[in-house]
Amino acid sequence: MTDMSVAPSVDLASLPSLRRYLDHLSGDERRSALGRLAALSPEDLLSFGASEPQLVEHDYRVDDITGTLPDGLAGTLYRNGPGRWQDHTGRPLHHLFDGDGMLSAFTIDGGADGAGVRYRNRYVRTRHFQGRTGVTHMGTAAPGGWRANIGRVPPNLANTGVVEHAGHLYALWEAGPPHEIDPDTLETIGVRRFGGELRWLGSFSAHPCFCPSSGAMFNFGVELVPRPHLRIYHTDHTGRLRHFRSTPLPYPAMVHDFALTERYLVFLVSPILPDAMAVLLGRAPIGDTLRYRPDKGSTFILVPRDGGRIRRIDHAAILQFHLSNAFDDGGDVVVDVITYSDPCLLERIARFQTSPLDDAPSVFTRFRITASGRVLTEPLSDNSCEFPRHHPAYEGRPHRYAYYNTRTRLCAFYDSVTKLDLVDRTERTYSSPEPGNSFCEPVFAPRLGATAEDDGWLLTVEYRAAQQTSRLVVLDAADPSRGPLATAQLTSHLPQGFHGSFVARRR
């Protein structure tokens, strides 16, 4: 059992999963983890409840609604993220990316005559969830040393993104094919390979981009055989996927996201590299070997949508996971990115259950790639942030506003939602007034028929630490600092996951 005398200020009574995780660690690891936890404020320690698992699948109408759900807000907010950080044997897992994917759906019908909110959550029935795979994970090796891990790859956990396209709902995990999901019940229909177009491992990123004018979906996968390259896909508005193009990578990098303009697909390759030999020989899980290698530099890759020559612009190393949006400006390409200066981020993610992110600050940064190949850099906000979003109709187009999570008091999670005006650089922020609370990624839900870019709502889920429950929060996208227009209080908590999407009700 955990030796609480090592850090007597750490009260784990309300965090049973965290305590179980600590009990699973070796003596030195446990002492180090308890030391990190003991250095946290009581408020931050409370916030760790956002990573407690949710093992129960719910389906009910939400009765506890405060404020008024806006008239015209009608559709479903889908969210995806790990629901439990344990493998199918019950063993605790280390890495932020190791947990089984659990989908949640908030079906909203606003206005005085609306039906309110219905909530449901359901695990994706992956092979891992059903106990049909090995237990070598992204950041947690299988028991038994190298013999149990040699040649093993992590299972598809379907835990990162959720998108709707051409009438189909998909749970996404970047190193494998998507799982198709019933949009009403959240039941798993099965793995989707699009008629065999997703071959081999079927890598298909969790960050597809959507063309507002054509309805097409673009996406990519990282393939390492016969040499590292991006395999890029185009899915038309009917749902027909085809291989669009492929392009080499400068090294076997982890590429998580990309952006779209009206002329290009924009990739920013960061030198986050695994130790391939250690992984293949079973000496370490891939997540433990990822290292930031600034000596390798970064590369911007611009893939023309019309099939023209691919442009590659080498640049000093940039550490990032998420791109916000991009657009063409004359002959230039402009792309906004959440950048980091300290590679300790990778260590924090690898041991997220006891490692706050306060010493891994980020900057919202704009890169302008000129027609001649120069790259101009401009910080847009020094407010540490993550999970950027924008109005979906402005995907790949000039836009004025970006939305993201920020931190006001917490260092372990994001306790605020911020709107950034990209023209005058002002920010409007709503921070939870309750100690230890945190927000997930804000998703933009446009008002039907609106013409203003910020005419709509931000939908986010707030973990309420004192009650150990969660609630849907609806904010005014024009001014989130006004606070919630409405909230829908759940009877249980929803672990803070990764990404979500809003699907408007078809009229």
Same domain membership, residue 110 and residue 21: no
Same domain membership, residue 84 and residue 168: yes
Domain that holds residue 10: 1-39
Instruction: Give the pTM.
Output: 0.96
Name the pairing type of β-strands 499-504 and 469-476.
unpaired
Same domain membership, residue 57 and residue 8: no
Residue 372 burial class via C-beta count within 10 angstroms: exposed 0-12, middle 13-18, buried 19 and up: exposed
Same domain membership, residue 164 and residue 142: yes
> Are 190 and 179 a contacting pair, CB within 8 Å?
yes
Residues that constitute the known binding site for Fe cation: 207, 256, 322, 499
Residues that constitute the known binding site: 207, 256, 322, 499
Per-residue pLDDT reduced to its tens digit, 135-172: 999 999 999 999 999 989 899 999 999 999 999 999 99
In angstroms, what is the C-alpha Rg of the chain? 22
Helix crossing, 16-24 with 27-38: angle to 10°? 140
Closest to 390 in 3D by CA, of 296, 266, 240, 501: 501
Number of domains in the chain: 2
Average pLDDT over the chain reads: 94
Closest to 235 in 3D by CA, of 149, 172, 283, 281: 172
Same domain membership, residue 389 and residue 409: yes
Q: pLDDT value at position 43?
A: 87
Per-residue pLDDT reduced to its tens digit, 72-125: 999 999 999 999 999 888 899 999 999 999 999 999 998 777 889 999 999 999
CATH number for position 487: 2.130.10
For 246, the token pair is 């492929």
Q: pLDDT value at position 113?
A: 76
Percent of the chain with pLDDT over 90: 81
For 363, the token pair is 């900057």
Same domain membership, residue 469 and residue 399: yes
Q: What angle do CA 432, 438, 440 make, to 5 degrees?
A: 115
Count of Cβ atoms closer than 10 Å to residue 215 Cβ = 14
What would the DSSP string read from start to end of 36-90? HHHTS-HHHHHHGGGGS------EEE--EEEE-PPTT-EEEEEEEEEEESB-TT-
Measure Cα distances from 65 to 373, 375, 471, 485, 496 in Å.
53, 48, 9, 11, 21
Token pair 């969210």 is at which residue?
Answer: 79
Same domain membership, residue 117 and residue 145: yes
Rounded distance, CA 447 to CA 102, Å? 28
- What is the maximum span of the chain, computed from C-alpha positions, in angstroms? 65
Same domain membership, residue 23 and residue 53: no
Same domain membership, residue 129 and residue 193: yes
Residue 417 has pLDDT above 90, yes or no: yes
Lowest mean pLDDT among 21-30, 93-102, 259-268, 383-392: 21-30
> Are 246 and 237 a contacting pair, CB within 8 Å?
no
Rounded distance, CA 361 to CA 345, Å? 9
What would the DSSP string read from start to end of 21-39? HHHHS-HHHHHHHHHHHHT
For 129, the token pair is 């969830």
Q: What angle do CA 432, 451, 449 make, to 5 degrees?
A: 90
Same domain membership, residue 364 and residue 307: yes
Per-residue pLDDT reduced to its tens digit, 277-288: 999 899 999 999
> Are 182 and 169 a contacting pair, CB within 8 Å?
yes
Confidence of residue 507 (pLDDT cuts 50, 70, 90): low
Q: In the Cβ-directed half-sphere of 391, how many Cα atoms lie within 13 Å?
A: 24
Rounded distance, CA 152 to CA 358, Å? 33
Same domain membership, residue 191 and residue 332: yes
Confidence of residue 358 (pLDDT cuts 50, 70, 90): low
Per-residue pLDDT reduced to its tens digit, 221-273: 999 989 999 999 999 999 999 999 999 999 999 999 999 999 999 999 999 99
> Are 436 and 44 a contacting pair, CB within 8 Å?
yes
Same domain membership, residue 126 and residue 8: no
